[in-house]
Amino acid sequence: MRKRLLATLAAAGALACAAEPRWWMDEPVRLVQTNLRETDANLDAARLVQQVADLGANALLFGMGGIRAYYPTKVPFHYPSPFLPPGRDLFGEVLREAHKRGIRVIGRFDLSKSQKEAFDAHPEWFFKRANGEPAEYNGTYATCINGGYYREHALKILAEALERYEVDGLFFNMFGNPGSDYSGRPMGTCRCDGCKKRFEARYGRPLPEKPDADYREFMEISRNEVAASIAALIRSKRPRAAFLTYIQEHVDGIMSESNTAVDRPLPLWPYSASDNVNRARNSEPDKMAFNLCMAFVDIPYRFAHVPPAEIRARLFQNMANGAGPSFAMLGTPDQEDRRALPVLRSVNEWHKKHEELYVGQQSAARVLLLSMDARQADYRGFFRILSEQHIPFAVSTNLAALDRGPWDIVIAPDGAPAALEKWVRAGGRLLVAGAREPAIQGLPKPVRRWNNTRSAYFRIRDHSLLPSLKDTDVMFLDGEYLETEGTSPLTLIPPARFGPPERVWTDKVETQKPGLLMTELGAGKVAWIPWQVGALYYRHSSAPHAALVADLIDRLLPAGRQLVTNAHPLVEITLMRQPARARTLVHFVNLTGHSQTGWFDPIPMRGIRVEVSGKFKSARVAGTGEKLKLSAANGRMAFLLPKLDAYEVVVLE
């Protein structure tokens, strides 16, 4: 019965979606999230909406239900905030006030937890630890994605909300079973009856004691099953409303966060927003990215904000990669730390003034960076190199991106999936790195894995192949290395003595073991660096590692770089297009104010020369309206950006 109902809802939703406009794709969006506490239930709705409008936002993500409801719900086991005055409909008031001002409202739900009364009545709905105890945190009880709360009861709660309110979207926080609680303590595997039965039916074995690959896959499948039912319900009840959460399947928009944490390993990742938006937009181009720039330092410190310059950079990175500025704070704009709010207002003012630039943006890059199963450090090292070298690139976790080319080159930072082989043999150019053997036939065979290469080097034997390294004869190796067959312009110097100084390299041995392999496959070409060059650059920023990658990219590119500039490496440049307007946008985000864990105002730049492939008749600076002279140079069109402060866009038509 339930399967037939879901199928009917899905069919109705699909038909509705095909006919309905999608505001999240077709309108410029400036989003503010006010993450309500239960004590905020008595706030002044008109004042809040006025504050949101004063911040320049045109979309509000506002608490609706789940752990606490902010309207007088009548669904059993759904509990209004105890601070909500009897009979008051706070959500309804905010919705009316916002819609009067043309502000869209996205209702926020958190179905991951509920109250003790619900647990006492239906313990089978909830997460069960290995010792049989529930997962309780500050008086709330964790539900299970495979229990009746998520699978059935939540649909009753959502149906009431959707029938009652003309919401513009629903967002779901912590969708599914989290791996740890708010204090960072691991949750382990859920042992509820729903998880036991479903896991054993799928994998033919009992639930593991600790999360393993099967369990993680099981959780992903479970999330997607529930997401499908929620998507069908939303599209049948409110076909113009967006379904948003932190997964890619079944949703209309992919949520992510640019945030910090006091215990997060360094180095700090300054490209967080660009990374999140670039990956989401190019993995699922038919869905919008909503990257929330989190105001606070960490979950335990929600009232201490990150530096305003960091917020500004994140918001501009969102915009430069195809999304709108999105900002999240705990509570209301009456913050204990208000330094971020003027920055948010100024960025939103820019976006509003130039909002026609931010609708229908698509990446114009011709280099594809894969983020499939890549280890974080390997991936981030390549991300940095490409950004610092000003090579426009798109990121994807989805190999379907290959069909959206044409790509001049694909980069796989940590091994390569077998699906790339057909693309390469048809004429593709592939740069693959890492000590994981690529799943591609025809490459040199591995001989030995080196797990400890401390004090090892690679000898550069062909400087004509690597012209950026003309003054460098060796580069250091640290970490994994996969020794293979074949000859190479880069050869291993194995670990040797490094102390005391009098004995350094007195036992050095030169070998022919390859550190770089160049192979032709069919009509295509592959360059394979069988060690973790990306991770090394991410951790240590050694210039020869970046130069090696840049020279290989230049050698593989069939027609040279798409963009050439004299800009500082910390000026992030993205190349976007607006097909509907037949124009190209060159975004500049000035990150020179970033230093280790610090963010300061960026250093103003002057006289940035840029050459871009393509044919253009005009160029103008969006911020000032100044028209720029275009000239032909090296097979590209060149212009000079007179000045760059924090952010700018040059419009090419």
Q: Where are the domains of the chain?
A: 2-359, 366-560, 564-652
Interval 304-314: pLDDT, tens: 999 999 999 99
- The number of beta carbons lying within 10 Å of the beta carbon of residue 474 is 14
Per-residue pLDDT at 373: 87
Mean pLDDT computed over 500-529: 98
Q: pLDDT for 236-249, tens place per residue?
A: 999 999 999 999 99
Concatenate the DSSP letters of all residues of 380-440 into one string: HHHHHHHHHTT---EEES-GGGGGG---SEEEESS---TTHHHHHHTT-EEEEESSSPPS-
Q: What is the pLDDT of residue 363?
A: 98
- pLDDT band, residue 3 (cuts 50/70/90): very low
pLDDT at 19: 55
Q: Which CATH superfamily is domain 2-359 in?
A: Glycosidases (3.20.20.80)
CA-closest candidate to residue 428, choices 531, 523, 535, 549 = 523
Per cent of the chain over pLDDT 90 is 96
CATH superfamily entry for domain 366-560: Class I glutamine amidotransferase (GATase) domain (3.40.50.880)
- What is the rounded CA–CA span in Å between residue 34 and residue 64? 11
Tens-digit pLDDT profile for residues 422-456 = 999 999 999 999 999 999 999 999 999 999 999 99
pLDDT in tens, 448-487: 999 999 999 999 999 999 999 999 999 999 999 999 999 9
Whether residue 184 has pLDDT greater than 70: yes
Per-residue pLDDT at 18 exceeds 80: no
What is the C-alpha to C-alpha distance for residues 24 and 170, in angstroms, rounded to an integer? 12
- pTM of the full structure: 0.95
The reply to whether 2-359 and 564-652 are identical in fold is no
Q: What is the pLDDT of residue 14?
A: 45
Residue among 205, 207, 184 at smallest CA distance from 128: 207
Residue 514 has pLDDT above 90, yes or no: yes
Q: How sure is the predictor about 408, in pLDDT bands with cuts at 50, 70 and 90?
A: very high
What pLDDT shows up at residue 405? 87
In 3-state terms, what secondary structure has residue 5?
A: helix
pLDDT band at residue 7, thresholds of 50, 70 and 90? Answer: very low
pLDDT tens for each residue of 590-638: 999 999 999 999 999 999 999 999 999 999 999 999 999 999 999 999 9
Distance between CA atoms of residues 111 and 165, nearest Å: 19
Average pLDDT over residues 20-42: 96
Asked if the 564-652 domain carries CATH number 2.60.40.1180, the reply is yes
For residue 327, what pLDDT is reported? 98
